[in-house]
Amino acid sequence: MVVGSEAWRPCPEGWTGLPEAVGPRRDPQGHSQERFRNYSERVSYDPYAPREAEEPPHDYSPIKPPKTPRDVLSRLWAPIAAFGVLVWKLKFVFTAIFKFKFLTVAGSMLISIGAYALLWGWKFAIGFVLLLLVHELGHVLEARRQGLAVSAPMFIPFLGALITLKQLPDNAWAEAKVAIAGPILGGLGAAAVWGLGEYYDSELLIALAFTGFFLNLFNLAPISPLDGGRIVAAIHPALWLAGLVVLLGLTIVNPNPILILILILGGMESWRRWQHRHDARLESYYRVPPAQRVFTGVAYITLAALLTIAMSATFVERHI
């Protein structure tokens, strides 16, 4: 279309328009350039340019609804149900281990390695099971030094490993020495792995050492059937109550099937011993001289402190 002597043609900015005398320039859709000029002045930033996220105020905190007793019970019930299903699924395996005993130490180790490898990979699984073996060997060596009949270590996936004393020690002091030998030798084993990790600059070995230190520290919890429960019995059996309270609080805060199982077993064992507290034979068993009580307490606290320090030194931060 021709208007006068001028026609629509592209301008340098990409617009087409009429002479100024005719009126404001317009694009082919009929919008004036003035309208777009005003819009570009209003938009003073590039909407497609990357921008930094704004930092929340210092006093900002997300709103969290308060926990109710129902929430706590639901969190506790979930791991209990999951553990029950797991036991039901693996009941034939547990029956074979405890009744028929056809699995050797090496066989139970291989089963545990396969189970842990599903979570952490085969390298870490092998190292973890070997650290469990070193821990249990500490119990075996001390029990045999005392002339006690003891079984070979038996490994149970996701529950660790155990040995069985075929006869009770003479007293709580002798039992405490058998119990503390496991974390001592286990801690030394983890320290050796730590040294190898530093020498070869291997985060895998250092992380494995951290796990070994944690494993032995956890076993020092003052509650039966853990090693710590048998150790503190030589100090004073009343410390079991403190261990039960701490473990109960930890289970409520962070429900876990293993914690719940230990809490149930520890509660049953503590109740059984409380009912027979006036038994003459039991009173004699827990009659430990003061010097041995002090020595046990110092060794227990020192070992726990050393394992805690070693855990802090071998912590490997994960980069996600």
pLDDT attached to residue 31: 52
Question: Is the separation of the CB atoms in 108 and 155 below 8 Å?
Answer: yes
Locate 318 and state its tokens: 């994960």
Enter the DSSP assignment of 171: S
123: Cα separation from own chain's centroid: 19
End-to-end CA distance of the chain: 64
CA nearest neighbour of 296 among 206, 169, 151, 178? 178
pLDDT attached to residue 137: 92
Q: Look at the block and give the residue holding tokens 């900002």.
A: 60
Rounded distance between C-alpha atoms, residue 174 and residue 230, angstroms = 10
The kind and range of the H/E element at 155 are strand 154-156
Angle at 73 between CA 71 and CA 79, to 5 degrees: 110
pLDDT attached to residue 1: 46
pLDDT attached to residue 45: 55
The kind and range of the H/E element at 6 are strand 6-7
Where are the chain's structural domains? Answer: 100-313
What residues have CB less than 8 Å from 248, skipping those under 6 apart? 263
CA nearest neighbour of 314 among 192, 220, 226? 192
What average pLDDT values come out for the chain (320 residues) when binned by 10 residues? Answer: 46 47 51 53 58 60 58 55 53 48 71 89 92 93 91 85 84 93 96 94 94 94 88 86 82 80 81 74 84 94 95 77
pLDDT attached to residue 73: 55
pLDDT attached to residue 194: 95
